[in-house]
Amino acid sequence: MNDRDQFVCAVDIGGTKIAAAIGTADGKMLARYQTATHKDPTAGVDWIVSVIQDWHVTEKPGAKIRGLGVGCPGPLDRTGGMILKAPNLGTWNEYPLRQELTNRLSLPVELENDANLAAIGEHRYGAGCGCQDLVYVTVSTGIGGGLVIHDELVRGLDDSAGEIGHMTIDPHGPACNCGSRGCLEAMASGTAIMDAAHTMISVGNASEAMSEAYRKKGALTARDIAELAEKGDTVAASILDEAMISLGIGISNLITVLSPQIVVIGGGVSNIGERMFKTVRKQVQERVKLVPAEKIAIVPAKLGGDSTLYGGFFLAAGICQILSEE
Ligand SMILES: [Zn+2]
């Protein structure tokens, strides 16, 4: 494949933003665009098509773009090329996304769950490059993940594997959006941290600084709690540390079952940084006894918020290979 043939595209469709990127099959990002998520999927597809076509015309006229990999919140119908049940993307559900993009761009298009695609991105081009076995965890408003074993994504029955956020951590824990109780997501996500802080405020157990910040802003985010903890607020610190202990328990369980070479943690809440990694590593050290946990790296995502886009490049490059074999 020569240089003229190697361009691929990736799109990451989220509840609040859509990102699109053009890169090379070996994982170099050449251009990146972002917009607020359109309520109407047709307008969203219009935007995706226009940024890719404009880049093509202005930057590489005559070059061939080979494929497009799209990350979407799951569950998906990958065969039918549709999002099925993403609560924040109601109007996009059951919209023929792959068909529309294929028709408009005259490109082969594949859809994949966004957390799975982020795992592939980190495995191929990011922190897990060169590792055969990787666990990717994303901690943001929710908790998701992807598992790569022997260089292959673990899909499971109906593509449902990797729902790391819904492992039970505490059978008596808070109710989870999935219908269960005490899931990792209900204990350690940004939303869980926020809810725990608001509960502390409502029952009168919050610190004065927390209550004051709440009065000013009307709500506290995980970032607010992390900032207060950094300033020495012991109540904020205990809320944050409890959440990170739950995350550490979840990751310990994954390590015990899978014994991966690396655990990569991404998502907005992972920007808390060293305080989070320290607590998670300590839990792993204390709980994992039958796997050589000291050899397992637990690291931040190298591709930051763009892990899914890089995974999209790899997915698109995979389509090119299928085409060249035909
Ligand atoms: Zn759940």
Q: What is the 21 CA–ligand 1 centroid distance (Å)? A: 32
Residue 325 pLDDT class (50, 70, 90 cuts): very low
Q: Which helix (H) or strand (E) holds 45?
A: helix 41-59
Q: What is the 261 CA–ligand 1 centroid distance (Å)? A: 26
pLDDT of res. 290:
96
Q: What is the 24 CA–ligand 1 centroid distance (Å)? A: 37
Q: What is the 160 CA–ligand 1 centroid distance (Å)? A: 14
pLDDT of res. 114:
95
Q: What is the 179 CA–ligand 1 centroid distance (Å)? A: 6
Q: 102-116, 121-135, 239-253, 307-321: which range is least confident on average?
A: 307-321
Q: What is the 173 CA–ligand 1 centroid distance (Å)? A: 11
Q: What is the 176 CA–ligand 1 centroid distance (Å)? A: 5
Q: What is the 166 CA–ligand 1 centroid distance (Å)? A: 4
Q: What is the 234 CA–ligand 1 centroid distance (Å)? A: 28
265 and 280 Cβ atoms separated by less than 8 Å: yes
Q: What is the 295 CA–ligand 1 centroid distance (Å)? A: 30
Q: Which helix (H) or strand (E) holds 121?
A: helix 114-125
Q: What is the 251 CA–ligand 1 centroid distance (Å)? A: 16
pTM, rounded to two decimals: 0.94
Residue 86 pLDDT class (50, 70, 90 cuts): confident
Q: What is the 46 CA–ligand 1 centroid distance (Å)? A: 34
Tokens 């109540």 -> residue: 235
- Cα separation, 154 vs 159, in Å, equals 8
- Spatial neighbors of 294 by CB under 8 A, at least 6 apart, are 285
Give residue 144's identity as a one-letter amino acid code.
Answer: G
Specify the higher pLDDT residue, 61 or 283: 283
Q: What is the 18 CA–ligand 1 centroid distance (Å)? A: 25
Q: What is the 15 CA–ligand 1 centroid distance (Å)? A: 19
Using CA atoms, how far residue 109 sits from 2, 25, 86, 102, 173, in Å, is 21, 14, 20, 6, 41
Residue 2 pLDDT class (50, 70, 90 cuts): low
